[in-house]
Amino acid sequence: GTIFISDKFYCNKKLINSIILNYGNISSKIFGLTIHIEDKEHITDKPCIIISNHINMFDHFIMAYIQNKVPPFITLNKFNIFPISTLIKYTKSIICSHNKKSNVVQKMKQRIKQGDQVTIYPDSCDYIPEDKLMAPFKSGAFVPKEPILPIVIRYIPSSNTNMNWNDNTLFSLLHSYLLDGDIQVYVKILPLQYYKHDYKSHEDYKHGIYELMNQGLSSLPRQEPNLMIGKSSSKYTMKFLLYIKKYILK
């Protein structure tokens, strides 16, 4: 419904930005998300590439919440279908493809040159190795050698152990999040990073920021269930669960 409204009233960008942000905030409350942000002073309007670890479907809401706007993303062409295509058009997101050259690096450099920002998940939501806190990074975000703002996200459920995409479907994740109803989200915004002259290539840039983000994640609470006995779910969560019971599970 939100994307349909965006398509009909595309000309009023301030209104659409507000509608989408409010939709994200309401959805977060329905699923019981409480967001804690560290080092918010590092948020900047400077031209840069904003990167984060990609855990689950809420990451987009979190990134919009942090920036207080609907940011342009680097997105795969498989998502460029209606109604999502309307949102991609609205945010001026950059579409890439695994199968053919799409000049994404050049497009990112052009955005930075124009004074804009673009958001990308360099870990591509891949599997996280047992001895790491994030999946290995792809190189795309680092090849332009432009300033990068790293952001790390950690979700702490009250009872749910099924937080990451991995082999989940959208429905299985939604179901497990609703059953939890109280998820603490910890976000740490790291300082703006610049390509150093002593780097031999963008691979050094990638490695340096990967290690920095790993350190940032290690300072946040561990992703383990932390059940608070006696703590009630939000009224939004309870209303949504009652709606499901009455109209869907009857």
pLDDT single digits (tens) 137-168: 999 999 999 999 999 999 998 887 777 776 67
More confident residue, 11 or 171: 171
pLDDT of residue 178: 80
pLDDT at 123: 93
Top pLDDT among 14 and 248 is at: 14
Average of per-residue pLDDT across 175-183: 82
**pTM of the shown model:** 0.81
The residues, ordered by sequence, that sit 6+ positions from 80 with a Cβ below 8 Å of its Cβ are 88, 95
What strand order describes the sheet that includes 148-156? Answer: 33-38, 183-189, 148-156, 48-52, 117-120
Instruction: Classify residue 7 as exposed, middle or buried by CB count within 10 Å of its CB (0-12, 13-18, 19+).
Output: middle
Asked whether the predicted pLDDT for residue 129 surpasses 80, the reply is: yes
pLDDT over 80 (residue 101)? no
The whole-chain average pLDDT of the chain stands at 83
- pLDDT value of position 3: 46
Q: What's the rounded Cα separation, in Å, for the pair 101 and 147?
A: 24
Identify the bridge partners of residue 96 per DSSP, sorted by sequence position: 76
Confidence of residue 4 (pLDDT cuts 50, 70, 90): very low
Ranges 39-43, 93-97, 140-144, 153-157: which has the least confidence? 93-97
Lowest mean per-residue pLDDT among 59-68, 107-116, 208-217, 222-231: 222-231
DSSP class per residue in 172-219: HHHHHHHHH--EEEEEEEPPPB---TT-SSHHHHHHHHHHHHHHHHHT
Q: In the structure, what pLDDT confidence band is assigned to residue 5 with cuts at 50, 70 and 90?
A: very low
Q: For tokens 């989200």, what's the residue?
A: 185
